[in-house]
Amino acid sequence: MRAAQRYQPSVSGYRPTTAQATRDVGLISAETPIRGMETGGRFLAQTSEANQARMAILDRLAKDETALAQAIAKRDEVTTPLREQAFARSTVDPETFQSAVTLTANKTIDDILASPAGARGTVAKAMQFAKDQLARGTDPQRLYEVRKDLRDAAQGLLDREGAAFSLASKQLNQVIRSVDDVLEATAPGYKEYLSKYAASSRGIESLEAAQTLRSKVLSTTPDPSRVGDFLISQPAFTRAIRAIKDDPRTPLSKTQVALLERVGRDLDEGVLQRGAKVPGSDTFKNLSTANIVGGVIGRQIVGEGNPALQKLAAPLNWLYNGTDDKIRELLVEAMLDPKLAADLMKKASVMRVEPLSKALQKKALNMGYGSIFGLE
């Protein structure tokens, strides 16, 4: 009862189920059969509302392809002139430039090969690749293009060509830093460009990571209430979050990761009814409320029930005016309203059926079933 009354969802914008709010094993077990009672699409609507609330968070983080393209265009608009100005200021002659490459970048490669890490085959191949590429960097602009190849290799983008360069990413990044030193020495202002480019790229990389995550976590199950939308897959989302937390290079900020973790917790709570029955509280089974209402339904369907139960259930006789499907809808409404469910559990726990009857009558009136049950 306390859990249902105090529950605050990790994601706002929709109402959780009673099982989700309480995390009570008995109520979790009860949700599946009560879902089976429901015919009006209330659980489907709740699932859709929950999915939309979670997707709203993902959409705020990832935005869309247009936003990403605009961010990239803005970065290039600001940073490209800085790079071009740096290269335009370069007055170094080819011989001096090549000497700078040899003394700085090539020396870095030689030092790596002479170190213990240089004994690794992947490192040796990566360093040979880097040395071959550097030979093509005969001026600042060409060396800058070579740097792109080195960056691609360090990020694993060239692994498909048969060499596992990404396994030597640490060493390749050392070479890249030495290339940057050469470019700054021969084209003053280059590192200012590099700094502004990196700062502008953080937001872009964050957008790209969020868009990649969103594409990975969507299932093939359509959202029941929104054509063209799909439900988030809880297993896929959990795997994606674990991968992000294990990646020290993730471009997502701590705040963004924390927000995604909240969505993950909400997803976990929303699929509790899929779990198998385990030993623990049999709250729903033992609730006199459930037994009484269940007895009323049973009596209506199959005839007279237990005399003691009939006496106890007398304040609920008004339910006989309605059909069994409407009675079941009241149970469904309780499972979809944690605050109501908490109140009903409290009333039933002290065997006060009269307050329970009044609560259900009020709920029936709010649902528009007054005339069906003969209520005013």
**DSSP characters for 46-74?**
HHHHHHHHHHHHHHHHH--HHHHHHHHHH
Cβ burial, residue 125 (10 Å; 0-12/13-18/19+)? middle
DSSP 105: I
Cβ burial, residue 68 (10 Å; 0-12/13-18/19+)? middle
Tell me which residue has tokens 């490669």. Answer: 109
**Residue partners of 156: CB distance under 8 A and separation at least 6:** 165, 166, 169
What percent of the residues of the chain are helix, what percent strand, and what percent coil, each to the nearest 5? 75, 0, 25
End-to-end CA distance of the chain: 30
Helix/strand/coil for 231: strand
Query: Running along the chain, 376 residues long, what does each successive block of 10 average in pLDDT?
Result: 87 90 80 76 89 94 93 95 95 94 96 96 95 95 96 89 84 97 96 94 93 94 87 94 90 93 92 56 45 48 48 60 67 83 63 65 83 81
**CA–CA distance, 48 with 26 (Å, rounded to integer):** 25
Would you state the pLDDT for residue 298? 47
Would you state the pLDDT for residue 280? 46
Would you state the pLDDT for residue 343? 73
Residue 28 contacts residue 332 (beta carbons within 8 Å): no
Phi and psi angles of residue 221, each rounded to the nearest 5 degrees, phi first: -90, 120
Would you state the pLDDT for residue 340? 79
Tell me which residue has tokens 């706002």. Answer: 12
**Tokens read off for 363:** 């709920």
Q: Count CB atoms within 10 A of the CB of residue 372.
A: 13
Residue 284 contacts residue 26 (beta carbons within 8 Å): yes
Would you state the pLDDT for residue 342? 79
Would you state the pLDDT for residue 35? 79
Contacts 24+ apart (CB under 8 A), 367-376: 367/329, 367/330, 367/333, 369/322, 369/326, 369/329, 372/321, 372/322, 372/323, 372/326, 373/318, 373/319, 373/321, 373/322, 373/326, 374/318, 374/321, 375/318
Would you state the pLDDT for residue 63? 93
Round the CA-based radius of gyration of the chain to a whole number and report it: 32
Cβ burial, residue 69 (10 Å; 0-12/13-18/19+)? exposed
Would you state the pLDDT for residue 370? 83
Would you state the pLDDT for residue 289? 45
**Tokens read off for 20:** 């989700």
Would you state the pLDDT for residue 324? 64
DSSP 104: I
∠ CA 109-112-115, rounded to 5°: 155
Q: Which residues pair with 218 in a beta bridge?
A: 232
**CA–CA distance, 137 with 180 (Å, rounded to integer):** 12
Would you state the pLDDT for residue 307? 57
**Residue partners of 210: CB distance under 8 A and separation at least 6:** 58, 61, 62, 63, 252, 256
